[in-house]
Homo-oligomer: A and B are copies of this chain.
Amino acid sequence: MTQKNRSLTLRDVSEASGVSEMTVSRVLRNRGDVSAATRDKVLTAAKELGYVPNKIAGALASQRVNLVAVIIPSLSNMVFPEVLSGISQVLEDTELQPVVGVTDYLPEKEEKVLYEMLSWRPSGVIIAGLEHTEAARAMLHASGIPVVEIMDADGDPVDAMVGISHRRAGREMAAAILKAGYRKIAFLGTKMPLDHRARKRFEGFTEVLAKSGVEVVDREFYSGGSALAKGREMTEAVLERSPDVDFIYYSNDMIGAGGLLYLLEKGIDVPGQIGLAGFNGVELLQGLPRQLATMDACRREIGTKAAEIIAARVNDVEKDGLITLAPTISFGDTLRDT
């Protein structure tokens, strides 16, 4: 309990309990044979001193680090905490521990964060997206540890991959919208150079529209700010510019919700006069006056699958490393279900 300033070591516990450091180490790690008597002695001494093992030294000596680097663009997007929670849940049953790095959607920052994390020699990497700088891909490749790229399935992974095809998600939503009879379709989303997955959805979306000779009649992009408010503003702007719009496809549920609230306030018939759809299926939004049409991005499942792959590979178990999940459309109350 009494503490100078230098933190305790095995030696301190060893001296306090009258056995060798090695034996203390064995007790604390529950490894090898130790008599019940010494075990108690050691544990008591350790507790009394308030000893906390030094994982840095332990990791260096054993060449094993039970950390998994998880690299994601943002924490405020809600999507990522959900993925994280899937990862944590699976890793909880192992000796592995997730460590999160945030890139703010910036490739250079991603590279930097990755470098930092790799310098701790983690047991695996879970990283969002398939697009990385050349250097980042090289590092991942050279690291020699399991790597799972998540959230996206449109592209070539360095190693393993768990995600959905956003192109397909865009295509399916477009198909559903067309099938429901909407033709004057607008798109509202984030500025996309940063967000490859939003871009791919948009590409898939326009591709299917084009096949039916339909073009997006209006579009609007935002960045930053409160998504709900932005959805409201952008919707207002679009309706002003293009009053004949009969459907709005939002690149995420949050701005979709803003749009929905706005339209309801204006007394516009949803989905009769105007249909709406978002993307992600965020649970957060249950409780809106109407349920927004959306597409589940399988976030939690992506997290669990990715963690399972890492856990398996760390234990040298072979495991399928290319998983494409199928997002399911949910019509909610804002898209006529035909």
Residues of A within 8 A of B (CB): 1, 3-7, 50, 52-57, 59-60, 65, 75-76, 78, 81-82, 84-85, 88, 97, 99-100, 102, 115-116, 118-121, 138-139, 141-144, 226-232, 254, 258, 261, 265, 283-289
Contact = CB atoms under 8 A, between A and B. Distances in A.
Nearest to A264: B289
A119 B254 CA distance: 40
Q: Which of A65, A97, A120, A258 has the most CB of B within 10 A?
A: A120
B84 A1 contact: no
Given A5-B144, A60-B60, 20 more contacts: A3-B144, A50-B142, A52-B115, A54-B119, A54-B121, A56-B65, A76-B78, A76-B82, A81-B81, A97-B116, A99-B99, A226-B283, A226-B286, A227-B287, A228-B284, A228-B285, A254-B284, A258-B287, A261-B289, A265-B289
Given A52-B139, A120-B55, A7 B144 contact: yes
Contact of A228 (B3, B116, B120, B288): B288
Contacts of A65: 56
Contacts of A142: 1, 3, 50
Contacts of A229: 286-287
Given A56-B59, A56-B121, A228 B261 contact: no
A286 B3 contact: no
Nearest to A229: B287
A84 B72 CA distance: 15
